Amino acid sequence: MNSAVPPLETRRELLLQQLDATRAVDLVVTGGGATGLGLALDAALRGLSVVLLEARDFAKGTSSRATKLVHGGVRYLAQGNVALVREALHERRKLLHNAPHLAGPLAFVMPSYKCWETPFYGVGLKAYDALAGRAGLGPTELLSARETLTNLPGARREGLRGGVKYWDGQFDDARLAIALARSAAAQGALVLNYCAVVGLLHRDGRVAGVRYRAHDTGVEGSIEARCVVNATGVWVDELRRMDDAATGRSSQPMVAPSQGVHLVVDHDFLPGDHALLVPRTRDGRVLFAVPWLGKVILGTTDTPRSDIVEEPRALAHEARFILNEAAHYLARAPRVEDVRSVWVGLRPLVRPPQEAGDTKKINREHTVTVSPSGLVTVTGGKWTTYRVMAEDVLARCMDSGLLDRLPPCETADFLLVGAPAGPQQAPSLAAPPGLHSYGTEAPWVQALPGADSELAPGVTEAMLRFALRYEYARTVEDVLARRSRLLFLDAAAAARAAPRVAQIIQQETGAQAGLDSFLELAAQYQHVPQ
């Protein structure tokens, strides 16, 4: 992909016409998060005909609400899961290579306030380096108190004994999802958001395709498929129930959702471009303070939930935990009024039926199952390993006889849309948002009307038009939450920009922009429960 190649248009009417004309394909993927989009790209590169349908917007759920880290999982190493850590570390390197405009290395510092912490964590992180091997991003270093403060000028000085510095990765999750969608489309996949799978087609007791409904037109249709993959994250059990209802079976729910809360504060709480990690807080949890796009993300929590909602809300005790723990490690303690945005993601953790207890103990590895009727379901995992999850799904489809033997996977070194070829200096994702996230497509953005007209910090009118014409955006939320990340960075600023964004959407598409619903959402993201 390079700037000489014009971006593919994503006009809604053309996509719906293509969908209506599609009668049968090799593979239907339902779910447009990390897993489904990665699968669509892998399958298209191997020559399969692919349709991906997403009921909402791409990465609307969990896949836009990560802690923005591309990591091997330091805490999984502490749990002894060496294989999972080794795989994730090598996938980390591939992701940074394939999307250098959206992902890059990030230095972490663990400050030590007890004498034993620096040598203890230093040994563990040296093992982390060893597992990474040539895929490592930088060596682990043991720091003095002075060196720790040089790297973390916002850390609390009182009682500081030293620290440990190590390297992991950072990325823009929602924009990576859009890059995957557009890359899959460039390889021939038909990829649609706002088009829900409302039923499964069965023939002789076997899954033979899907029924769908377009959100904007209400038009329904069906597509036959040799293989249907359920990649809907925390919602996978809904499609499994559809399969059960059609075949007269009853299966146990797969997903035990866990809620992760993040609070965003201004960059001056943790100046510089290093992240802070506390591997074990007073109650045994992990605390991050991560510089990201000109702000600092504080988090996260791990709270079991019995319900699954589209827009989960933070609980008062979760917000208190993050603010109270941050106060122990930052020189300037953040308060409720300092929070610019609060957002919550649901992790699709997979719990065996007999397993009970805390979601922190549930394995984070992904799971692929095939029902007796042939519905393939994949859930669990994390963004870092999205690519191998897709490989595993296609391998399972072939082993189950749902797909013929396919050529080898080609995604390991495949550059996503916008990625420059050859060695590049990765942009710092600690810096405020700008054109860097468009990579080689930045000239196409700048050529659109409004390149010098800023709608909000880091968001120009030209970026909005690019999102509407080439990035599948339909609503104010699509633009301000996921094509730009303003809602996640500063919800009040997003609310101020929303009316003008809605006007331009109306001009560009003639569609309703969802202004009122976005303003309600922005108000939710501004509210810190107490």
Distance CA 32, CA 189 (A): 13
Check whether 122 has a pLDDT greater than 50.
yes
Per-residue pLDDT tens digits for 499-516: 999 999 999 999 889 999
Residue 290 Cα distances to 272, 348, 432, angstroms? 10, 23, 13
Does 422 or 35 have the greater pLDDT score? 35
The pLDDT of residue 193: 98
For residue 114, the model assigns a pLDDT of 94
Taking CA atoms, 242 is separated from 248, 270, 315, 371, in Å, by 10, 48, 32, 12
Cα–Cα dist 83/457, whole Å: 42
Which of 73-82, 146-155, 173-182, 384-393 is predicted least confidently?
73-82
Q: Is the pLDDT of residue 208 over 70?
A: yes
Q: Which residue has the higher pLDDT, 1 or 300?
A: 300
Of 187-196, 279-288, 299-308, the poorest mean pLDDT is in: 279-288
The answer to whether 235 touches 192, Cβ cutoff 8 Å, is: no
Q: For the chain, give the percent of residues with pLDDT over 90.
A: 85
pLDDT digits (tens, 9 = 90+) for 37-50: 999 999 999 999 99
Nearest-angstrom CA–CA distance, 429 and 291: 8
- Which of 106, 125, 127, 129 shows the shortest CA–CA distance to 163? 125
Q: Which of 303-317, 335-349, 411-425 has the lowest mean pLDDT?
A: 411-425
Q: What is the mean pLDDT of the chain?
A: 93
Cβ atoms 3, 441 nearer than 8 A: yes
Q: Which structural domains are found in the chain, ordered by start?
A: 14-59+175-254+356-399 (3.50.50.60), 63-171+257-350 (3.30.9.10), 435-526 (no CATH)
How far is it, in rounded angstroms, from Cα 275 to Cα 398? 42
Q: 455-480 pLDDT, tens per residue?
A: 999 999 999 999 999 999 999 999 99
Query: What digits encode the pLDDT tens for the residues 369-394?
Result: 999 999 999 999 899 999 999 999 99
Q: Quick one: residue 248, left, alpha or beta (phi over 0 = left, psi -120 to 50 = alpha)?
A: left
> What pLDDT was estimated at residue 361?
41
| pLDDT score recorded for residue 421 | 85
Q: Is 497 left (phi over 0), alpha (psi -120 to 50) or beta?
A: alpha
- CA 121, CA 171: separation in Å to the nearest integer? 25
- Summarised one tens digit per residue, pLDDT across range 327-354 is 999 999 999 999 999 999 999 988 754 4
Of all residues in the chain, what percent carry a pLDDT higher than 70?
A: 96
The pLDDT confidence band at residue 362, using thresholds 50, 70 and 90, is very low
Prediction pTM value: 0.96
463 or 249, greater pLDDT: 463
Write b or e for each residue in 191-227: b if 16 or more Cβ atoms lie within 10 A of its Cβ, otherwise e: bbbbbbbebbbbeeeebbbbebbbbeeeeebbbebbb
